[in-house]
Amino acid sequence: MRTAKALISDGQGHYQVETVQVGDPQAGEVLVKIEASGICHTDWDSIQNWNKKFIVGHEGAGIVAAVGEGVTKVAVGDKVILNWAVPCGECFQCREGNLHICEKNSPVCGCGLDGHAHIETSKCDDEPIERSFHLGTMCEYSVVKQAAVVKVEQDIPFTSACIVGCGVMTGWGSVVNATDITAGSNVCVIGCGGVGLNAIQGAAMSGAGKIIAIDISQERIEQAKEFGATHGVIADRDDIDFIKVREDVKKLTDGRGADYAFECTAIPALGSAPLALIRSAGTAVQVSGIEQRIDFDCELFEWDKKYINPLYGMCNPDRDFPRLMELYDSGKLKLDELVTKKYQLEDMEQAFDDMLNGRIAKGVVVFS
């Protein structure tokens, strides 16, 4: 048993730093000393809505501090990235290759806690406490299933590695894994925050022709160009139906519309926006996980358009994390540049405020 500092929430809008006890890993489990944790919009949502007590955080990187019986994937001292969609490897979806929507473990499917390491291992006030997405990375230590860790061989700061496990994977994977962009495809990316910048990186690596970054901020469009965008279109806050944006995109795409458009804003009213920007038989991709009910003009689907909603960039962690690390190592994937600000756990109020007001691409909590 060891004590650790953690960000605890009641899932009713409150959070504070508390001391928790973290036990040893059991069979098939790994104790990770967390070195850095990404800060994500999903953390904010979970703090507001989960209505239960939990350790916050689902984007982490750290060092293996102990392993339970039968763990073969990693050893003590290994540097690891954590993965929040923990596959069981045996269910229907895992056998289909859809590890990210595992029927048994995925917290997203609401199928219980099979992906969680034994619950008693983290305790707050002597009561077992759940960890966000089976991880709870805003804590100095976390015990997770071995399927939740991927070893990192490359020389990379923890602050850059930790963001791979959510925002990078989601943006990059929604392009590379979920679509079949070919050389010369024209692509729109709506929203140039952390996820959008990684969709842009994925599109650039896939050989896209025009990569049109769309945002309300000129500054963010300029940053998007550093990540591979070839063109920028400023959206007006009031142009919720994208009337003007659509015209601008058409001008850039021979009057036809883009081949692909990726929505990365998490703004429910923009759920249909990618459909407005693509050509007939193009593909609209909703990356940000909008879940609200919204109105759709079915004319937007004319004609032969596809609308897909991949989860977590269709992440296969043992395949994708090493690929992302190699791309980083060879200078093709920018990660260091994404981390705009580092915080201590005690500074979370400021961190959430910066994130919610779009002042940063990505914030990261560091523990030492």
Distance, CA of 187 to CA of 213 (rounded, Å): 9
Closest distance to Zn ion from the beta carbon of 249 (Å): 28
**Shortest separation between residue 166's beta carbon and Zn ion, angstroms:** 3
Site for Zn ion in 16-55 (CB under 5 A): 40, 42
Q: Which is nearer to Zn ion, 67 or 94 (CB)?
A: 94
Q: Judged by CB, which is closer to Zn ion: 81, or 88? A: 88
Under rule CB under 5 A, which residues in 97-136 are in contact with Zn ion? Answer: 102, 104
Least Å from the CB of residue 225 to Zn ion: 25
Give dist(CA 363, CA 351) in Å, integer: 7
Toward Zn ion, which CB reaches closer, 94 or 208?
A: 94
Least Å from the CB of residue 356 to Zn ion? 14
- Which single residue brings its beta carbon nearest to Zn ion? 40
CA distances from 194 to 116, 189, 269, 330 (A): 27, 12, 20, 21
- CB-wise, 61 or 94, nearer to Zn ion? 94
Rounded least distance, CB 335 to Zn ion, Å: 15
Handedness of CA 65, 68, 69, 73 (dihedral sign): negative
Whichever of 31 and 40 has its CB closer to Zn ion, that residue is 40
Which residue reads 């309300």 in tokens? Answer: 216
Binding segment (CB under 5 A) for Zn ion, from list 140-148, 161-169, 178-186, 253-261? 161-169
Considering beta carbons, is residue 42 or 253 the nearer one to Zn ion? 42
The tokens describing 212, both together, are 């049109």
Compute the C-alpha angle 282/284/290, nearest 5°: 170
Q: Taking the complex as a whole, how short is the minimal distance between the CB of residue 119 and Zn ion, in angstroms? A: 19
Nearer to Zn ion, 185 or 198 (CB): 198
Q: Are strands 149-151 and 141-145 parallel, antiparallel or unpaired?
A: unpaired
Instruction: Put the strands of the sheet holding 127-128 in their side by side order.
Output: 127-128, 122-124, 15-22, 2-9, 54-55, 130-131
| 58, two tokens | 């689902």
Buried/exposed code over 159-187 (b: 16+ C-beta within 10 A; e: otherwise): bbbbbbbbbbbbbbbbbbbbbebeeebbb
H-assigned helices in the chain = 41-49, 92-96, 158-161, 167-176, 194-205, 218-226, 243-252, 273-277, 317-329, 348-356
Joined together, the tokens standing for residue 307 give 């609308």
Our CB check for Zn ion shows the closer of 166 and 284 to be 166
Nearest to Zn ion of 71, 169 (CB atom):
169
Stretch that binds Zn ion, among 46-54, 160-168, 226-234, 258-266 (CB under 5 A): 160-168
Question: Closer to Zn ion at the Cβ: 15 or 242?
Answer: 15
CB of 195: closest distance to Zn ion in angstroms? 9
Size of residue set near Zn ion by CB under 5 A: 8
> Least separation, in Å, of the C-beta of 115 and Zn ion?
9
Give the separation between CA 223 and CA 242, rounded to whole angstroms: 22
Closest approach of Cβ 98 to Zn ion, in Å? 9
Q: Could you tell me the smallest distance in angstroms from the CB atom of residue 59 to Zn ion?
A: 5
Q: Which two tokens stand for residue 273?
A: 């926006």
Q: x/- string (CB under 5 A) for Zn ion, residues 73-92?
A: ---------------x--x-
Cis peptide before 303, with omega less than 30 degrees from 0? Answer: yes
- Using rule CB under 5 A, residue 166 touches Zn ion: yes
Tokens at residue 220, please?
């963010």
Residues that bind Zn ion (CB under 5 A): 40, 42, 88, 91, 94, 102, 104, 166
